[in-house]
Amino acid sequence: MTEPELPKEAMEDPFRPPEEPCMVRCLHCGQEYLSSQIVWRDGFWSCPVEGCGGAGYQFDIHPLDSSLWGGEEEDDEDFGEDYNEDEPFFGAPPSNN
């Protein structure tokens, strides 16, 4: 389906695939494919695998580099760029041990 054929709600849907295709995996069927293969079906962006109920980019369908698949996240993403694991997180005085 090309963009001109898609209804307006498909293009406004927050779970639409990204403009820049990436490799993804479906939580339901486990298949991997390009995000550009995600299809608009019955009012949802859906996994293209026949019989699979996976729907929504970043809902049931996630990029392969997502931490969901066991990738490592950097501390900066979780705590901000000023985070330093050697300093107390809540301002507690450092231990003298």
pLDDT digits (tens, 9 = 90+) for 39-92: 999 999 999 999 999 999 999 999 998 787 775 544 444 445 555 555 554 444
What pLDDT sits at residue 89? 47
Question: How many independent structural domains does the chain possess?
Answer: 1
Which of 31-35, 68-72, 91-95 is the least confident region? 91-95
- Residue 42 tokens read as 């019955």
* pLDDT of 65: 87
Q: State how far the Cα of 24 lies from the Cα of 37, in Å rounded to an integer.
A: 10
Residue 8 falls inside a structural domain: no
Confidence (pLDDT) at 67: 81
End-to-end CA distance of the chain: give it in Å, rounded: 64
Q: Which domain holds residue 46?
A: 17-67
pTM (global) more than 0.85: no
Residue 51 falls inside a structural domain = yes
